């Protein structure tokens, strides 16, 4: 604990988590981040599929396939993200208040749960359409950082998931985080998980990664696991879980398998011959 806040600590801006409110109906920044991420991702995947040069020939799916995939992916993200949060991050509470588990608008989503939900949704959709599942994974993985960036910005606006106490001059005094300044870890994660991973995916695609099914998806899994682990070094652990052992957090623990599996599938994708 710090004896007193640093002189250069930044007061939290007066953000309203609700963008528009009309009677009982309210549009929150958090919901807008999910909608924006899905719509921008859908637009980008259509553009990628429409560019044969990126695939070494005709893409293995049509833009119209992605129109239908959007609903499957949205359900996978929301159901998986909520279920992951309920079971992993706050099971004791929701086991006593099961109805609250349905109140998604109050917040509480797990990326790792959403990741699993999206993977299941894509596998089911790809099989129903006869689409190569690894190519679908690659397309979606290239666009996920957009939603991650918007989601972390919404976390900052909502004054949630803030960082650990710090004395750095850019520390922020969050209204619900006590009197001490804290790392704005949401912004760190927006940069790492959003901007950096998106740039990595776009560069890889320009260099021909879509010609090697599974490569972009594996790079994303590895990159996210590393980015999340770095972000967890500054983020305050969830109070109902706290630190695990040796300073490890639940976010780190869930990210480790992503790194291992991602590296394995990067090697697998590079060994196989490229399309075209």
143 alpha-carbon distance from chain centroid: 10
Domain count across the chain: 2
Is residue 15 in a domain? Answer: no
**152 marked as part of a ligand binding site:** yes
Is residue 253 in a domain? Answer: yes
Is residue 83 in a domain? Answer: yes
pLDDT at 12: 83
20 has pLDDT over 80? no
| Same structural domain, 216 and 198 | yes
75 has pLDDT over 60? yes
| Same structural domain, 138 and 209 | yes
In sequence order, what E strands does the chain have?
10-11, 18-22, 25-28, 172-173
Is residue 82 in a domain? Answer: yes
Contact 12, 174 (CB under 8 A): yes
Query: 111, 131, 151 — which closes off a domain?
Result: 131
Q: Please tell me the pTM assigned to this model.
A: 0.86
| Same structural domain, 144 and 262 | yes
Picking from 220, 254, 219, 252, the residue whose alpha carbon sits closest to that of residue 234 is 252
Is residue 182 in a domain? Answer: yes
Is residue 110 in a domain? Answer: yes
| Same structural domain, 141 and 269 | yes
What is the end-to-end Cα distance of the chain in Å, rounded?
59
What's the domain range around 121? Answer: 63-131
| Same structural domain, 235 and 117 | no
Is residue 215 in a domain? Answer: yes
pLDDT at 104: 67
| Same structural domain, 95 and 208 | no
| Same structural domain, 71 and 202 | no
What value does the mean pLDDT take over residues 54-66? 91
Output the average pLDDT for the chain: 88
- Quick: pLDDT tens for 207-250: 999 999 999 999 999 999 999 999 999 999 987 788 888 888 98
Is residue 186 in a domain? Answer: yes
| Same structural domain, 89 and 142 | no
Query: 131, 151, 180 — which closes off a domain?
Result: 131
| Same structural domain, 136 and 271 | yes
pLDDT at 207: 95
| Same structural domain, 114 and 145 | no
| Same structural domain, 166 and 215 | yes
- Quick: pLDDT tens for 120-175: 999 999 999 899 999 999 999 999 999 999 999 999 998 989 999 999 999 999 99
Query: 131, 146, 168 — which closes off a domain?
Result: 131
Picking from 104, 121, 112, 34, the residue whose alpha carbon sits closest to that of residue 69 is 121
Contact 78, 121 (CB under 8 A): no
What value does the mean pLDDT take over residues 88-92? 75
| Same structural domain, 126 and 136 | no
Helix axes 133-157, 29-49, angle to 10 degrees: 150
């Amino acid at each position: 604990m710090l004896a007193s806040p640093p002189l250069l600590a930044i007061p939290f801006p007066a953000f309203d988590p609700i963008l528009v409110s009309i009677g009982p109906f309210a549009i929150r920044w958090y919901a807008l981040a999910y909608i924006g991420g899905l719509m921008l991702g859908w637009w980008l995947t259509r553009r990628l599929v429409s560019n044969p040069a990126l695939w070494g020939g005709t893409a293995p799916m049509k833009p119209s396939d992605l129109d239908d995939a959007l609903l499957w992916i949205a359900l996978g993200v929301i159901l998986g993200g909520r279920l992951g949060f309920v079971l992993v991050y706050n099971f004791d509470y929701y086991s006593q208040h099961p109805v609250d588990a349905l109140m998604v608008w109050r917040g509480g989503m797990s990326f790792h749960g959403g990741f699993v939900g999206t993977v299941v949704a894509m596998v089911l959709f790809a099989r129903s359409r006869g689409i190569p599942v690894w190519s679908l994974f690659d397309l979606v993985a290239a666009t996920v950082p957009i939603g991650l960036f918007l989601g972390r910005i919404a976390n900052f606006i909502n004054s949630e998931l803030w960082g650990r106490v710090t004395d750095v001059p850019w520390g922020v005094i969050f209204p619900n985080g006590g009197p001490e300044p804290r790392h704005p870890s949401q912004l760190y994660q927006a940069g790492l998980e959003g901007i950096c991973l998106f740039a990595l995916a776009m560069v890889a695609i320009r260099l021909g990664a879509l010609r090697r099914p599974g490569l972009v998806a594996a790079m994303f899994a590895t990159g996210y696991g590393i980015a999340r682990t770095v972000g967890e070094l500054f983020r305050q652990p969830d109070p109902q879980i706290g630190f695990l052992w040796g300073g490890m957090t639940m976010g780190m623990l869930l990210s480790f398998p992503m790194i291992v599996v991602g590296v394995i599938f990067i090697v697998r994708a590079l060994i196989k011959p490229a399309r075209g």
